[in-house]
Structure formats: structure tokens, C-alpha cells
Amino acid sequence: MQMMNNTFEEFNEEELQSLRIQWDKIVHYRHECFGLKLFLRLLDLHPEYLCLFGFTWDEFDYHETARLRAHGINVMYMLNMLFDNLNDMDMIDELICKLIRLHLMRGIQKSWFDDICEPFETVLREFSQKLNIEHPEFIRKAFMFVKNRMQLLYDDNMAQVLLDQSSDISETY
Ligand code: HEM
């Protein structure tokens, strides 16, 4: 309950409504995929992450791949789900823990999430102009909230995954 109160203080109802309308505009923009652009920018700035997505360093045609586009769409709908639930902290944490585990399994470290901030800012600026987004600051705030919450809960989830693994092993023997 305490946690829920915190979130209500963090985002007021007017902000949440505006955030949802604006994010919906971005998600359903037919001409370009925000999620794809976001990760293309990340990979341009950090080619060391290419291998995480199954690409090699010298592969340049990843810009065109359906795999990265599908991933981009997935990321957008995940953010949609999170943004729709910002008034329910328990639900947010449930969703975030699943998301953390998904990244943990792929060896992604929590500090790497800082590298998504600049790409997010750049692509948000571009889309805000194109789509006449009035309050990009609400979107920025919601995204940063999610990213920070993921980083905050990362180590707890890591410990839990390790515990689960060790109990799996001891059950085997
Ligand atoms: C707030 C930021 C992020 C969100 C909301 C997010 C969301 C997601 C989601 C929903 C998936 C599952 C969808 C799928 O597998 O297609 C996913 C997978 C993945 N994410 Fe993230 N992610 C974030 C940040 C990052 C960062 C910073 C990295 C790398 C440094 C990363 C690397 C990956 C990889 C490698 C996969 C697996 C892709 C695949 O198997 O094709 N993510 N992410």
C-alpha cells in the first residue's frame, strides 16, 4: 500500500492520461517504429551490444532485419503495458521482475540500461516534432521511472535466479 501511495505521488492523474494518449500516438504511428529506431541508435552508439542480438560486429544490414523490428515492437508494447499500470506499483513490480529475468538470462548487466537513455532522448525528440507531442516530458519521466526501477530491482532478481538454480541442482542430486 505504501508503495502504491508513492506511485500516486510520483504521477498525477492528468499526467498519466496525457502520457497514455501521447504514447498511443507513438505506438500506432504507421510510418516508423519507435522501438526499432531506439535500438538501432543504441547499436550505432554501442556496437559491442550487436552480439546480444545475434549480429556480428561487421554486419551492417541489421538495420533492415525483421528480427530487430519485431523486438522493437515488443519493447513498445511492453512499455505500453507498464505505462498503463503506473498507478499500481504491485503490478509494475510484477511486470518489471519478469522483464529483468528475461534480460538477466541473456547476460545483460544493469549498468547497460544507462546506455538506452541517450537513444531514447534522441528518438523521442524526433517523434515529438513529427507527431506534435505536447508533453514529451511525461513520456521521458515514465520511461526513466521504468528504467530506474529495473536497475533498482536487478540485484534482488539476480539473487533469486541464482537461488532457484541452486535448488534445481540440489533437487537433481
Ligand atoms: C527500459 C529498457 C528496455 C525495455 C523496456 C526492454 C524490453 C525488452 C522486451 C519486452 C524484450 C522481449 C522481447 C523480445 O525478445 O523480442 C527484450 C528482449 C531483449 N532485450 Fe531488452 N529492453 C530494454 C533494454 C535493453 C537494453 C539496454 C539491452 C541491451 C543492452 C536490451 C537487450 C535485449 C536483448 C538482447 C533481448 C533479446 C532479443 C532477442 O532475443 O531477439 N534490452 N527487451
Question: How far is ligand 1, taken at its centre, from the CA of residue 108, in Å?
Answer: 9
Phi-psi map region of 46: left, alpha, beta (phi>0 left; psi -120 to 50 alpha): beta
**Burial bucket for residue 22 (CB in 10 Å: 0-12, 13-18, 19+):** buried
Domain 2-172 has CATH 1.10.490.10: yes
Predicted pLDDT of residue 146: 97
Q: Would the pLDDT of 6 be above 60?
A: no
Pocket lining: 62 vs ligand 1, CB cutoff 6 Å: no
Atom 7 of ligand 1, residue of closest alpha carbon? 75
Residues 119-134 have a mean pLDDT of: 97
pLDDT in tens, 62-118: 777 888 899 999 999 999 999 999 999 999 999 999 999 999 999 999 999 999 999
Pocket lining: 69 vs ligand 1, CB cutoff 6 Å: no
Predicted pLDDT of residue 62: 74
pLDDT in tens, 24-64: 999 999 889 999 999 999 999 999 999 999 888 777 677 77
Q: Would the pLDDT of 128 be above 50?
A: yes
Which residue ranges make up each domain of the chain? Answer: 2-172
In this predicted model, which residue has the larger pLDDT, 117 or 163?
A: 117
The pLDDT confidence band at residue 161, using thresholds 50, 70 and 90, is confident
- Geometric angle at alpha carbon 94, from 166 and 144, rounded to 5°: 110
Alpha helices in 85-135 (DSSP H): 89-104, 117-130
Question: How far is ligand 1, taken at its centre, from the CA of residue 149, in Å?
Answer: 15
How many Å apart are CA 170 and CA 173, to the nearest integer?
5
Place of cell 498525477: 12
- Geometric angle at alpha carbon 93, from 88 and 95, rounded to 5°: 95
Pocket lining: 71 vs ligand 1, CB cutoff 6 Å: yes
